[in-house]
Amino acid sequence: MEQIYLKDYVCNAEIGVFESEYGQKQRLRFNVILTLDYSSRKSSDNIKDVLSYEVILEAIKKNLSGDRLNLLETLANSIAISCLDYKQVEMIDVQIEKLDRIDGSLGVRIVRKKD
């Protein structure tokens, strides 16, 4: 097994259930780890033979571009589903933090495995 990850990626999104969170964007920090099974992969130095880190970025952007979300849990689960669709991905660890709600951060972390 191998892992690829996205660490400390920050972007702005409108998300949350509180009235103060409506109509304004806040900073979200993402840490995502994909555990991959490359047992059937031929060993090479070719990008075609590995899963690109872009998969994680695309999943985040795709799931933030739709309807407004209330819960970080919903966003994290949607990102997990998007990434688990790739055959090489066996497990995903998604952590999302809100950076503007308190001094520090608060958030959610989920881990999902392929069925």
Q: Which domains does the chain have, with CATH numbers?
A: 2-113 (3.30.1130.10)
Average pLDDT, the chain: 93
Please choose, from the candidates 88, 70, 83, 87, the residue with its C-alpha nearest in 3D space to the C-alpha of residue 111: 83
17 in Cβ contact with 71 (< 8 Å): yes
Task: Render pLDDT for 17-57 as a digit per residue (tens, 0 to 9).
Answer: 999 899 999 999 999 999 998 777 667 788 777 889 999 99
pTM for this model (two decimals): 0.92
